[in-house]
Amino acid sequence: MLVLVAPGQGAQTPGFLTPWLDLPGVEDRLRALSAAIDLDLVHYGTDADADEIRDTAVAQPLLVAAGLVSAAALGDVAPGAVAGHSVGEITAAVLAGVLDDTAALTLVRKRGLAMAEASAITATGMSALLGGDPDTTVLHLEKLGLTPANVNGAGQIVAAGTLEQLAALEADKPEGVRRVVALKVAGAFHTEHMAPAVEVLAAAAEQLTPADPRLTYISNKDGKAVATGAEVLARLVGQVANPVRWDLCMETFKELGVTALLEVCPGGTLTGLAKRALPGVKTLALKTPDDLDAARELIAEHANA
């Protein structure tokens, strides 16, 4: 059984879309999506520097667009399930047939702008903690006033809060945590600091008509499969200010009997977690078109297993 997954913010790197533009139709598709949301995805995916694509309002639509064009390059795929990490859930919603490309990009553009505005209210950020016992780490974070915004499994939790709270974490790491790594993001995503963005996104969601997923769609909220498009959309809205439970998503992959995990562009982050948390599951990250042949072989072997 194959699960198709989409990464979240922080996976982007300068120029990562450049090789994909050599594929027939990719540039035309990106330019059409760019026109729909008034954002030059081709520029940001090829020529923009790291600071430009770190901007939340840019990074989020860029990641969703990249996931969609790379998934389309695979051809017809019949995964047993789909899931996305944070903003990658919007990519997954398209892969599951809940939203079309234009609706998804319109939604994620508003999401990125609203989260950027919310981030500007207070100086906040996120840091990854590597190692340690999850329960001990979460209690320590709460003591410091931080939120475990991403519980990623494989010994990784991402803390989010004010810069002062994150500085206190650097000085006072939880027992067993080896490293605290500041992430290149602009705010405390998936926390109460994003509450203003939830209101904006809820209003945007009211303008959409989601379809029920035609594939098993696994939600970040609790790792459960979601049966209706309305519920998927509601969870996409609430997810902005609530923790990402990728650990629970991976537990569901185990329960479903997943044998292979394929991560769409810009792949790498989620396959890395899967290698540690899902032993025996084959993994592949779509980084460039050079990975497509191997991806198709993985699909042929596992999609109908």
31 vs 27: CA distance, rounded Å:
6
Q: Quick one: 49 exposed, middle or buried, by C-beta within 10 A (0-12, 13-18, 19+)?
A: exposed
Identify which of 75, 115, 111, 76 has the alpha carbon closest to the alpha carbon of residue 91. 111
Among residues 190, 193, 219, 302, which one is catalytic?
190
Give the C-alpha distances (Å, rounded to integers) separating 127 from 37, 79, 170, 191, 194.
30, 32, 9, 13, 17
* Number of other CB atoms surrounding residue 256 within 10 Å: 15
Q: Is 219 one of the annotated active-site residues of the chain?
A: no
**Smallest Cα–Cα separation from 124: which of 147, 143, 108, 140?**
147
Cβ of 43: how many Cβ atoms within 10 Å? 15
Catalytic site residue from 34, 70, 85, 86: 86
Q: Could you confirm whether 34 is annotated as catalytic? A: no
| Cα 12 from chain centre | 11
Catalytic residues: 86, 190
